[in-house]
Amino acid sequence: KQEVTQIPAALSVPEGENLVLNCSFTDSAIYNLQWFRQDPGKGLTSLLLIQSSQREQTSGRLNASLDKSSGRSTLYIAASQPGDSATYLCASTGTASKLTFGTGTRLQVTL
């Protein structure tokens, strides 16, 4: 059974800092790896999707990497802003496109 772990559970950084969120998974037989953002009381918004054959994906200030062999993915956020404050979830996609989520990293970017 796939298990997804995210470290750290919570993170507070001052505005402007670059930061890295970590995600690890136990079963490397995944179709892809996704990073989502969740704001309080809201649903999930997909940020980046990395196919199993890819190594990284970039969107604006976000860059996600994938190393299937080691079971790791990272989300890099450059020049953080207060509007980046949210919970970030990674999820692996298995059979039938079922997502297995980590417990999330709660990010706070302070002024």
Partner 1 sequence: GAGVSQTPSNKVTEKGKYVELRCDPISGHTALYWYRQSLGQGPEFLIYFQGTGAADDSGLPNDRFFAVRPEGSVSTLKIQRTERGDSAVYLCASKLAGGADTQYFGPGTRLTVL
List interacting residues with partner 1 (CB under 8 A).
4, 31-32, 34, 36, 41-46, 49, 51, 89, 91, 93, 96-104
Shortest distance, CB of residue 103 to partner 1, whole angstroms? Answer: 5
CB of 14 to partner 1, least distance (A): 25
Q: Which is nearer to partner 1, 26 or 81 (CB)?
A: 26
Give me the least distance between CB of 5 and partner 1, in Å please. Answer: 10
Q: Which is nearer to partner 1, 41 or 60 (CB)?
A: 41
**CA 102 from chain center: how many Å?**
9
